[in-house]
A and B are shown apart, each in its own frame.
Chain A
Amino acid sequence: MRASQINRTVDFLRDAFEEASKLWWRFFDWVAVVEWRQLMLTWFFVVVFLGLLHTPEPAVWYIFGSLAIKTLAGGKRKAELQAREATHKADVATLEQRLMEARMAALQAQIEPHFLFNTLALIGQLIETDPPEAARVHAHLIEYLRSTLPQMRARDNGTLGKQVELSRAYLAIMQARMKERLQVRFEVPMYLHSSPFPPMMLQTLIENAIKHGLEPKIAGGTVIVRAFVLGAILHVEVCDDGVGIDLHADEGVGLANIRERLQLLYGDSAELIVHAPLEGGACATIRLPYKMMEGA
């Protein structure tokens, strides 16, 4: 009985002490960073207020205390806090740079040489033989370009639904070129369309599946895009039944870029996992914390 009471008291004291020290450091930080003019203004109010109460002593303590903190520790503390903020800013800047790199890589990888040439050639050819199909491919190309060109990106690119839509445009163009050699299946439930998802990641995985999995395979195959929630983790998976992963081929800029961006965005709570199913082919899965609300 007594022991538990003592424990409770000790716990209470410890909590109280922790709270007090937290408040103290918050005050300390505030004093360190606040402008001199604002600090003096608070001195004035404290003096007036406590003067009215005829207890000037705490006011004097406050003024001397804060003056000491400000002059002695202020500079160092301020520098520390600024450094912390700068680190945070640098992280954001790195992230933006990575995203830009992903977009540039996407641009250079397909749009510039092969992808754009071949798609335009296809449209040119279809204009002669199948004008409605030409119009369809043309519309898909515009939609795809809009998503990849950074200066044209829309604000709402950051949902899974939007990313799926853009991938459909890309896959539709590839299907027009590869014909029956490329089959596509989407298994993304409607309720996941609104969940936040970083841009240009699904795209990279699908391009990899086609470029390294299906294009080198004579018969071609199927790309499956799946999304599901397990526990509180959103899984977005791209699988193909192509030639599989060449153990001696570097994973490439695309995957390395996704990994780096996941690390910057989610820390250790997100990951990119590649595995080889027993039936052959390759699967790449992005796992990240699932949030119900967009922007939550």
Chain B
Amino acid sequence: MSEDHVYTALIADDEAPMRDLLRARLQAVWPELRIVAEAANGVEAVEFGQQHRPDIAFLDIRMPGLSGIEAARQLYRQSHIVFATAYDQYALDAFEQGALDYLLKPVTAERLAATCARIRARAEAHAHAQAPAPTLTPAPAREDIGAQLARLTELLEKKAPAKTGYLRWIQAQVGSSLRMISTREVLFFQSDEKYTRVQTAGGEYLIRKTLKELLDELDPDEFWRIHRSTLVRVEAIAEVTRDLRGRHMLRLRNYAGELEISRNHTYLFQQM
């Protein structure tokens, strides 16, 4: 790259004050850098990045639409990526091990100056070695970055404990609105001809989902099937007793009635 090449940059952060801060800091530590676009979400970041093809993309990790990491996976081949994050231990650990550039928010002038100096030094070494290079990131490093980004995406997905893939909310039509019942509220499900009855401590609801469908979608550690027509929430179980006819009966917390456990499901309670 020639000495008089004007470097360009993209800033992506969903919070306007953070964009203002980064812009102000960049202007102070690297006055020649031209900021060609500012994005307020991940989708815009990709769009503006592809449109302006900046040398550097400063990406916030948490953004609506697409996360900074997802945006980076679409931009890293053309722009040098610098992540910004406030506090994300998992991501930070990954950054420490890898070669990705990152900034801690709030961005300090010193840290930003050091990062910019490193990027420039790398670019200059590159320019001396070989004339017009397409990006600031050398090709072999690019492959490495692609792999790292894939790993990061996986890591952050796994880290979110809320996303287990199991059904956590049951929807029941009540009048004209849709009542959302958390599975933590449910005591048991019981099939009732075409419908399934959902019993909570506060009341009961009918839903169209069949017991079979529920069985497939719910967390098997959260709900146990105790009968052909009954699924019970494990945490709600109070005790198991035998009635005069020798049947196993289940009693629940916050519920007056008893539920029958069919013979081929009594094994669930053997160790109790």
Closest to B169 in A: A247
Whether A248 pairs with B165 at a CB distance below 8 angstroms is yes
- Residue pair A120, B180 in contact (C-beta under 8 Å): no
Question: Does the CB pair A118–B105 fall under 8 Å?
Answer: yes
A275 touching B178 in the complex, CB below 8 Å, given contacts A176-B17, A215-B64: yes
| A–B pairs, 10, beta carbons within 8 Å | A114-B86, A121-B105, A122-B17, A178-B15, A179-B15, A248-B165, A248-B168, A251-B168, A256-B182, A274-B182
| CA gap between A240 and B168 in the complex, in Å | 20
Q: Determine whether the beta carbon of A125 is less than 8 Å from that of B21.
A: yes
A256 to B183, CA, bound (A): 11
- Name the residue on B nearest A249 (C-beta): B162
**Closest Cβ–Cβ distance, residue A221 to chain B (whole Å):** 11
B98 at the A interface (CB under 8 A): no
Main SS class of interface, B = loop
Known pairs A117-B87, A218-B41, A248-B167; A275 contacts B174 (CB<8 A): yes
Is A276 in contact with B86, judged by CB distance below 8 angstroms?
no
Task: Contact check, B164 vs A248: say whether CB atoms are below 8 A apart.
Answer: yes
Chain A residue total in the interface (Cβ 8 A): 42
B185: interface (CB < 8 Å): yes
A250 to B168, CA, bound (A): 5
Task: Report the bound CA distance from A215 to B60 in whole Å.
Answer: 14
- How many angstroms from the CA of A179 to the CA of B181 in the assembled complex? 32
Q: What is the 8 Å Cβ interface bit string for chain B, positions 174-196, against chain A (1 contact, 0 not)?
A: 10111111111100000000000
Q: Is B141 located at the chain interface by the 8 A CB criterion?
A: no
CB contacts (< 8 Å) of B165 on chain A: these are 248
> Is the C-beta of B114 less than 8 angstroms from some C-beta in chain A?
no
**Closest approach, in angstroms, between the C-beta of A274 and any C-beta of chain B?**
4
Which chain A residues have a beta carbon within 8 Å of chain B's beta carbons? 113-114, 117-118, 120-122, 124-126, 128-129, 176-179, 181, 215-218, 245-252, 255-256, 259, 263, 268, 271, 273-278, 282
**B163 to chain A: closest CB distance in Å?**
7
Known: A178-B15, A278-B178. 11 other contacts (CB 8 A): A120-B106, A121-B17, A121-B86, A125-B18, A125-B106, A177-B17, A218-B65, A251-B182, A273-B179, A275-B178, A277-B177
Distance between Cα atoms of A282 and B177 in the complex (Å): 11
Q: Flag B88-114 by CB within 8 Å of A: 1 or 0 each.
A: 000000000000000001100000000
The 9 closest A-B pairs by CB, nearest first: A121-B106, A113-B87, A251-B182, A125-B21, A274-B180, A249-B162, A276-B178, A117-B86, A247-B169
Residues A251 and B169 in contact in the complex (CB < 8 Å), given A113-B86, A278-B178: yes
Question: How far apart are the CA atoms of A3 and B224 in the complex, in Å?
Answer: 57
Kindly identify which residue among A218, A245, A252, A259 contacts B64, using a CB–CB cutoff of 8 Å.
Answer: A218
What chain B residues lie within 8 Å of A129 (beta carbons)?
Answer: 20, 24
Cα(A124)–Cα(B174), bound, Å? 48
Closest to A217 in B: B64
**B71-129 with Cβ < 8 A to chain A:** 86-87, 105-106
Does B257 have its Cβ within 8 Å of any Cβ on chain A?
A: no
Given contacts A217-B64, A276-B180, A177 and B15 within 8 Å (CB-CB): yes
Smallest Cβ-Cβ distance to B15: which chain A residue? A177
Residues from chain B with Cβ under 8 Å of A282 in the complex:
180
Majority secondary structure of chain A interface residues (helix, strand, loop or mixed): helix
How many contacts A-B (CB < 8 Å)? 112
CB under 8 Å from chain A, chain B span 41-61: 41, 43
Could you tell me the distance between the alpha carbons of A217 and B179 in the complex, rounded to whole angstroms?
A: 22
A-facing residues in B174-228 (Cβ within 8 Å): 174, 176-185, 201-202
Q: Does B16 contact A (CB under 8 A)?
A: yes
Q: Does B166 belong to the interface (CB within 8 Å)?
A: yes
When the two chains form the complex, which single residue of B43, B105, B171, B177 contacts A247, counting CB atoms closer than 8 Å? B171
Give A179 to B20 CA distance when docked, in angstroms: 13
User: Is B246 positioned at the interface, with any CB of A under 8 Å from its CB?
Assistant: no
Chain A residue numbers with a CB within 8 Å of B162 are 246, 249-250, 252
Question: Does B31 touch A at the CB level, under 8 Å?
Answer: no
CB pair A250 B161 closer than 8 Å: yes
- The CA-CA distance from A268 to B200 in the complex, in Å, is 12
A268 and B41 contact, CB distance less than 8 A: no
- In the bound complex, residues from chain A placing their C-beta under 8 Å from that of B176 are 278
Contacts of A255 in B (CB 8 A): 182
Residue from A128, A179, A268, A276 within 8 A of B16 (CB atoms):
A179
A-side contacts of B43, CB under 8 Å:
218
Q: Is B179 in contact with A124, judged by CB distance below 8 angstroms?
A: no
A251 surroundings in chain B (CB, below 8 A)? 168-169, 182-184
Please give the distance in Å from B166's CB to the nearest CB on chain A: 6
Q: For residue B184, which residues in chain A have a CB less than 8 angstroms away from its CB?
A: 250-251, 256, 259
CB pair B18 A121 closer than 8 Å: yes
Contact present for A271 and B180 (CB under 8 Å): no
Chain B residues closer than 8 Å to A252, beta-carbon distance: 162
Q: Which residues of A contact B24 (CB under 8 A)?
A: 125, 128-129
With both beta carbons as reference points, the residue of chain B lying nearest to A247 in the complex is identified as B169
Q: How far is the CA of A108 from the CA of B24 in the complex (A)?
A: 31
In the complex formed, the residue of A with least CB distance to B86 is A117
Contact between chains at A271 and B64 (CB < 8 Å): no
Complex CA distance for A247 and B86, rounded to whole angstroms: 28
Name the one of B15, B16, B64, B87 contacting A216, with C-beta atoms under 8 angstroms.
B64
